[in-house]
Structure 1
Amino acid sequence: MHSKIILKVIGLLLMLFSLTLVPPIIIALIYGDGALTAFATVMGGVLMLGLLLWLPVRDYKQDLKIRDGFFVVVMFWVVLGLVGALPFYIEKEVPLSLTDAIFESFSGLTTTGATVLTGLDELPHAILWYRQQLQWLGGMGIIVLAVAVLPMLGVGGMQLYRAETPGPIKDSKIAPRISETAKALWFIYLGLTVNCAIAYWLAGMNWFDAFSHSFSTVAIGGFSTHDASIGYYDSFQIELVAVFFMFLAGVNFALHFSAFRNLNTNAYLSDPEFKVYATILITITLIVSAFLYLHNVYLDWSDAIRYGLFQTVSIATTTGFANADFAAWPGFLPVLLIFVSFIGGSAGSTAGGMKVIRFLLLSKQVLREIQGLLHPNAIMPVKLSGRSIPEKVMMAVWGFLAVYVFTFTVIMLVVMALGVDQITAFSAVAAMMNNLGPGLGAVSSNYASLSDPVKWVLTFAMLLGRLEIFTLLVLFTAAFWRK
């Protein structure tokens, strides 16, 4: 690997990250909540560290190779996750241990939304803003990662972006160069965020909460400035805003760009992944709402639909907002919603999970295998929008599923071996790998009760899920480190 160019990239990342601490500092000055010293100290330290890494290699020029790409992507999240924990650890009004601070930071950057904090309503405004901002920055990182970086690395079927087929599985060349692609994505991402904030404000939030929740909504993160999450407001208008923008954030951002550029919705209507994504959300919403009404959880149809819709979209898109305690719902509903989060949102979105496009291709592959039993000599390629999907891509998708299930099982067994009960272990690992946040059992509200070893395992799980598994696991192979 080219260590100098890697140090140069990491140094630049740290310097850029230090600049993102300016908004929390401004918030601390506005509200005078005492968090100014912590953020100013961290900003100066991170800026200095970035300079020390960057200055000795600032004139070094070298193209990143595939191996360098994997390492830089992983280091991007690991370094920023560790550095991002510093304000939580230093600020005295946030009673977090080092483990809890790192867990909270990684949860924010990976847009998982699992928290160890309680008493959010009493925390300094600067800390609350910083939590939300971490998710927003992580969400943008995910978009660039998914659309501009992972396709080149060929990770777990993400080379779908390079195939000559329409929609999310084509080479999403929003712009011919990665830098131009990133700029276009930033434009769409920022536009959605601002519009979401305005909509929240018009629906009744104050400006601080409106922007804070727009960060976590568009990033599909789920952090809130209140312990009761969106349920704090008990407002149907605010919930509708959240549902609308959670839905949009779970769509491939390349489709948003195409629709904006052409000023029509044909990009959505002709995209197979979008149609399956919308169908899943509508179907699960109807099932959940009907069950809630028929089992008298809510005595009015409108309430059943209100809470069923919100929680379905929130969990299915892996956002994790709450307007009700879905873990306490009767029957199979809590487990159903957790299982839906395994599918997640669209590829090229801020959502977690395995992604709808993989689910769609796996479904088509299953149908092909069944048809092959009836016609053993027939050649039946998997097609999407009339175009054949290369077998290499199908093998990568199957490989991703196999590794996902195997890794999930191993991590869940490790968590159980550390003393966590089965329901909590299952839902916690699912919530981490799918970047969902809330779980069942002991983690239905927060993760504070878990032991430090469990939190470290879950931190690894959320990073694993965010980096599409292979990107992280490849670093643990001997072949990666051979010259």
Structure 2
Amino acid sequence: MTRTTVDVRATLSYTGTIVKLLSASMSVPLVVALIYGEDALTFAVSMTIAVAVGAGMERLDDEPDLGPRDALAVVSLAWLMAAVVGAIPYVIAGYGTPSALGHPVNALFESMSGFTTTGATATAEISFERHSHAVLMWRQLTQWLGGMGIIVLMVAILPQLAVNGAELMKSEAPGPGLQKLTPRIAETARALWLIYAGFTAALIAILFGLGLTPLAPNMDLYNAIAHGFSTLPTGGFSPQAESIAAFSPVVQWVFVPFMVIAGVNFALFWYVLRDDPREMFGNTEFRMYLGLVTGFAAVLAVGLFYGGAPETGIGGVTEGVTESALRHGAFQIASLLNSTGFATANFAEWDTQTKFFLLFVMFVGGSAGSTGGGIKVIRWLILLKVLYRELYTTANPDVVRPVRLGGEVVDEDVIRGILVFTLLYFLVFALSAVFIELDTTRVGEGLTGTQAFAASLATIGNIGPGLGPLGPFGSYEFLPNATKLLMIGLMWIGRLEIVPVLALFVAGVDER
């Protein structure tokens, strides 16, 4: 008989180990706090609390043994606990100040948004006058930690987690499959994180180098590190209230290729490093992803050139100026297609047709195995092939036609999983949009149907900015707590791709 219940003690013990190690990441903002003389006590106390909570949970089981359902529970609980622990510095730093992040719900929203790389903020004022350098760097770091995956990081550095590493990483991995790049799963996890860290370091170096020239006058080392931490994870947080519009056009162009890279399956970069670039350029999903980025960017650039966006005053698009249209078109597609959420202009003020086009783009998502959110390119590709097969076999009922991708037959279990995920995604998204509209209307902060639609999509897709007051230069702070709590849940299940979380609530059936 196969055990179908969750081993609570083993699950909590594994999660405690992850929480305890995660607390060490607070040493980064602690160093920043000591450099700037701000909030050092906040992070010292937060680390102490996190270590105590993690150690207490870890002691619940000396030799935890995980089954399949336990792995789902560990991944789901670890991400939830990461958000709770990540909220502690916001609450402590904001207590007794005008900061909205001092409120527990806002703090949890901000933390979940960070770790899930959503980039939606629950504070209307992002500035060094309102928040310390250390707190703002913690916002950025939470995105970097969540980008490649908390579980992937822990499997890479903790031998005791590597025993169940494959099961854990499978539950966390974005997309319908996990590629094992090396014989040992811990080596695969380390390889993915090294590639991820390498691209982050490269972007930081380029941004800092530009900051030493007249081309980027306000790009200092702090901003270079902060934006490096939020670009590769497709996060979208920025210590600047105007997001990337705060920087020169040259800097904006630099972000574009790195945002595109972040939406690529990182396993493909491994093959390139192993001297096998054919794996990348022969990959069907990769070619479709690049085609979508190029095509969507061209469409948006043409629309902006002919007046699709009014001058906004902050990073506004200038009608009829080719460079401006190309830059904003390429940037916003690279940002929204894979759920980064950075902005160079307030697209919430663009014309209706352009805004609906951007909403359509948000549904696509990055590649499987990337740090991007959304439904993912490979799922759309397989869904289109399944649609074509159904039409073909309806007209030719005697023909057996398997779905092929890259010359290989796609397993029917994989297809069923994609259909289930997509159905659940749209169902949860639609019901949440209705709730958001009703709840905001109840408290007199009513969003329009389109704005509620965009808000639900922005959170379950881990995109960040929505429309109207929730746009790229707006904030989620004014929303009622019930809506914020719903959105916290949407960000959580959206990052874990819904099924692993919901599967925990399905009663198991004994196998006899």
What TM-score, normalized by structure 1, do the two folds share?
0.92
User: Partners in 2 of 1:398 and 1:95 — Cα distance?
Assistant: 40
- What do the CA deviations read for 1:151-207 (whole angstroms, capped 9, x no partner)? 74599972x44xxxxxxxxxx111222212111111111111111111111222211
Structure 1 CA distance, aligned partners of 2:167 and 2:144?
19
Higher helix share goes to which structure? 1
Any idea what SS the aligned residue of 1:227 has?
Answer: coil
Q: CA deviation at 1:326?
A: 1.1
Judged with a 3 Å threshold, the aligned counterparts in structure 2 of structure 1 residues 108 and 250 are, in CA distance, closer, same or farther, namely same
CA distance in 2, matches of 1:5, 1:296: 55
Partner of 1:455: 484
Q: Where do 1:225-374 residues align within 5 Å?
A: 225-233=239-247, 235-262=248-275, 265-295=277-307, 297=309, 298-374=319-395
Is 1:103 equivalent to 2:103 in the alignment? no
Q: Could you tell me whether the CA contact under 8 Å between 1:188 and 1:253 is conserved in 2?
A: yes
Percent identical? 36
In 2, distance between residues paired with 1:148 and 1:436?
27
Q: Deviations over 1:356-382 (max 9, x none)?
A: 100110111112222223322111111
Amino acid at match of 1:443: L
AA aligned opposite 1:4 = R
3-state SS of paired residue (1:281): helix
1:347 deviation in Å? 0.5
C-alpha separation between the residues in 2 aligned to 1:15 and 1:143? 13
Equivalent residue, structure 1, for 2:45: 41
2: CA distance, partners of 1:202 / 1:369:
54
Q: What is residue 136 of structure 1 aligned with on the other side?
A: 144
* Structure 2 partner of 1:5: 10
Structure 1 residue 436 displacement after superposition: 0.2
Alignment deviations for residues 102-147 of structure 1 (CA, whole Å, 9 cap, x no partner)? 0000000000000012332222100111000000001121683999
In the other structure, the counterpart of 1:169 is none
Displacement of 1:54 in angstroms is 2.1
Within a 5 Å distance, the mapping from 1:158-177 to structure 2 comes to 158=176, 160-161=177-178, 172-177=179-184
CA RMSD of aligned residues (A): 2.3
Secondary structure of 2:363's match? helix
1:393-472 maps to which residues of 2 (within 5 A)? 393-418=414-439, 419=441, 420-421=446-447, 422-444=449-471, 445-472=474-501
Distance 1:372 1:130, change over 3 A: same
SS of the residue corresponding to residue 475 of structure 2 reads coil
Number of residues paired by the alignment? 467
Could you tell me which runs of 5 or more consecutive residues in structure 1 were left unpaired when the two chains were aligned: 162-171
CA contact (8 A) 1:156 1:400 kept: no
- Given that 1:119 and 1:227 are in contact with CA atoms closer than 8 Å, whether structure 2 keeps it comes out as yes
Quickly say closer, same or farther: Cα 1:392–1:209, change in 2 above 3 A.
Answer: same
For 1:469, the aligned partner's letter is: I
Q: Which residue of 1 aligns with 2:82?
A: 80
Shift of 1:56: 5.0
Matched-pair contact (CA < 8 Å) for 1:292–1:304: yes
Distance 1:148 1:334 in 2: 41
- The whole-number CA distance in structure 1 between the counterparts of 2:386 and 2:151 is 27
Query: 1:126 aligns to what?
Result: 134
Deviation at residue 479 of structure 1 after TM alignment: 3.2
Residue number in structure 1 paired with 2:316: none
User: Helix, strand or coil: the match of 2:508?
Assistant: helix
SS of the residue corresponding to residue 504 of structure 2 reads: helix
Whole-angstrom CA distance in 1 between matches of 2:235 and 2:228:
10
Match of 1:168 in 2: none
Moved more, 387-396 or 451-460: 387-396
Q: Which letter does structure 1 place at the counterpart of 2:223?
A: D
Cα distance in 1, alignment partners of residues 114 and 209 from structure 2: 26
Contact kept? 2:151, 2:168, Cα under 8 Å: no
Normalised by the length of structure 2, the TM-score is 0.87
Report if aligned partners of 1:112, 1:437 keep a CA contact under 8 Å in 2. yes
Residue deviations 1:36-69, cap 9 Å, x none? Answer: 11111111111122222223533x142x111101
Say whether 1:68 aligns with 2:70.
Answer: yes
CA distance in 2, matches of 1:329, 1:399: 35
